[in-house]
Amino acid sequence: MATVYLSAKLPAIATKILDQAKLDYEVFDGEGLITKDELLKHVGDCQVLITPLSTQVDRDVIDAAPQLKLIANFGAGFNNIDAKYARSKGIDVTNTPFVSSTATAEVACGLMIALMRRIVEGDHRMRTIGFDGWAPLFFLGHELAGKTLGIVGLGSIGSAVAKRMHAFNMKIIYTQRHQADPATEAACSAEYVSLDELLKRADVVTLHCPLTDETHHMIDADQLKLMKSSAVLINCARGPVISEAAVLDALNKGEIAGAALDVYEAEPEVDDAFKKLDNVILTPHIGNASVEARDVMGKIVANNAVAALQGDLVKYVVNK
């Protein structure tokens, strides 16, 4: 067995760094995502596990790797890892923060534009029944200019979204546990409000908060009823931040005008009922799926693997 195990194929820059450090590593090369049984077969002697956020690293996996020093998660989130249990075993858990901000913000902004201007719906129409020609009242959408954007979580991604959509002449309001500092607010031209006020005022609600016990289903039936019937919901955070059942119900009742989802409660599964709705856009968790972001993420996990095995400090430890 190898010293370093990669439970998924990563950008070439990652293995190049491992090669340059002359580390002994093995990469899962099977089809699809690695299964738990397959993962358990390969971690017995490994000291570093590099894994994507789609791989669950629970107590069973950690216990199966008695020499493990580091779990380097390829992703900003780390809900897939039992980080607290890893700490009890003296194992560092790291993530790849910050580098996803631009990529994820671009996708969130793209989804807003596509949803409000019915771009995906229009593409589908042209690939199927087509249209009879330009007409004054045909296929109307809504401009973003002059509308209010409500951002839940003004962190690095939320701030990047705010800056971009402020350039579209949107009014920016936001909510989170604590108010941001004045400089951050000024850079985004953002106003701090409560969640309830945000939901009542916003024409577009976009979620950029972490998944915690407090944020699980923070958007459910009661919150959706506060939104304007003309408002839309964007989720590029984590699937369980919303109640998908409640969102479906709100869409079917016309309580909100549309939704765009890049993440899902039971990912990678998505409720088939969403697929039947024209006012819903579904993307396969591509928030940070840019060559640029993934290359930087690859550098971070590989450099942390080298550091851990050379006795140096690793970066971005999330379970200190």
Residue 268, preceding bond cis, omega within 30 degrees? yes
pLDDT tens for the chain, 320 residues long, are 689 999 999 999 999 999 999 999 999 999 999 999 999 999 999 999 999 999 999 999 999 999 999 999 999 889 899 999 999 999 999 999 999 999 999 999 999 999 999 999 999 999 999 999 999 999 999 999 999 999 999 999 999 999 999 999 999 999 999 999 999 999 989 999 999 999 999 999 999 999 999 999 999 999 999 999 999 999 999 999 999 999 999 999 999 999 999 999 999 999 999 999 999 999 999 999 999 999 999 999 999 999 999 999 999 999 99
pLDDT value of residue 308? 97
Amino acid (1-letter code) at residue 62: I
pLDDT value of residue 169? 97
Token digits of residue 66: 């008695």
Conformational region of residue 15, where left means phi above 0, alpha means psi within -120 to 50, and beta covers everything else: alpha
Q: What's the rounded Cα separation, in Å, for the pair 281 and 276?
A: 11
Residue 267 annotated as catalytic: yes
In sequence order, what are the beta bridge partners of 261?
235, 282
SS (H, E, C) the chain: CCCEEECCCCCHHHHHHHHHCCCCEEECCCCCCCCHHHHHHHCCCCCEEEEECCCCECHHHHHCCCCCCEEEEECCCCCCECHHHHHHCCCEEECCCCCCHHHHHHHHHHHHHHHHCCHHHHHHHHHCCCCCCCCCCCCCCCCCCCCEEEEECCCHHHHHHHHHHHCCCCEEEEECCCCCCHHHHHHHCEEECCHHHHHHHCCEEEECCCCCCCCCCCECHHHHCCCCCCCEEEECCCHHHECHHHHHHHHHCCCCCEEEECCCCCCCCCCHHHHCCCCEEECCCCCCCCHHHHHHHHHHHHHHHHHHHCCCCCCCECCC
Residue 102 neighbours by CB distance under 10 Å? 17
Domains and CATH numbers, the chain: 4-99+291-309 (3.40.50.720), 101-282 (3.40.50.720)
Residue 238 annotated as catalytic: yes
Residue 285 annotated as catalytic: yes
CA atoms within 13 A on the CB side of 217: 7
Catalytic residue chosen out of the listed positions 238, 244, 265, 294: 238
Nearest partner of 175 among 240, 219, 231, 116, judged by Cα: 219
pLDDT value of residue 77? 86
Backbone angles phi, psi at 259, to 5 degrees: -150, 150
Cβ-contact 104, 157 below 8 angstroms:
yes
Backbone angles phi, psi at 15, to 5 degrees: -70, -25
